Amino acid sequence: SFPTRRASDLNTVTGTFRLNSSQQTDQFYLAREFNMKRILSQDGHKLELGRACIKKEYQNSVVISLLWKGIFEYSAKTRSQILFGCASFHVRNTRQAALLHRYFFEKQKYTPDYFSTPTLADKMLDFEAWEAHFKRGLRLDESVEAESLIPGLFKTYLTKGAFLGGEPAWNEEFLCLDFLTILQHENLSHSHWRCSKAGS
């Protein structure tokens, strides 16, 4: 199924998603950014969700839904109970990174089972100082600011039951902030599947 009805679209690859199954490897891309022992020690198979790539003219909700349909089907076939990847945020400074971290903490988006600290090479300078500053609790204007920094697609992941792995890492290669993000397969079973069928 495709987002348009042009005959030329029938054999066109519009988007891809890099997937990495624990049934096939114990080497994961995100292990370069995060200490992932707690996640990898959980029972069941795991599936790493890498970066998506969608042709510019097809970047819409239909193609995204179709990609998620493929992820759902592959995770079911590999019996993957835990899916994980990174959500990238384009922030300007360490203060905003700590602000987001505190915001997600107050929204109870962390769980001890999945805590995964950044590797030393990917820790942000002065992060602990800003984290201590925000520990008093966020003011309303600070919460509003944090919400404005969250990409729309990531807000959708949160509504589908996504959790975060803890303190974010600074990705020097892409100049962005990465939050380790965890989804359980059962949370995809209904919402994403219905959305995918709507685009079929």
The burial of 159, by beta-carbon neighbours within 10 Å (0-12 exposed, 13-18 middle, 19 or more buried), is given as exposed
What does each C-alpha distance from 141 to 98, 145, 151, 199 come to in angstroms?
A: 15, 6, 18, 38
- What residues of the chain score a pLDDT lower than 70? 1-10, 189-200
pTM here?
A: 0.83
Residue 3 confidence (pLDDT): 45
Question: pLDDT at position 189, please?
Answer: 63
Integer Cα distance of 61 and 68 in angstroms: 10
CA atoms of 46 and 40, how far apart (whole Å): 7
- The pLDDT value recorded for residue 153 is 79
Q: Which two tokens stand for residue 54?
A: 């969608």
- Which pLDDT score is estimated for 139? 97
What's the pLDDT at 98? 97
CB 146 within 8 A of CB 91: no
pLDDT at 159: 81
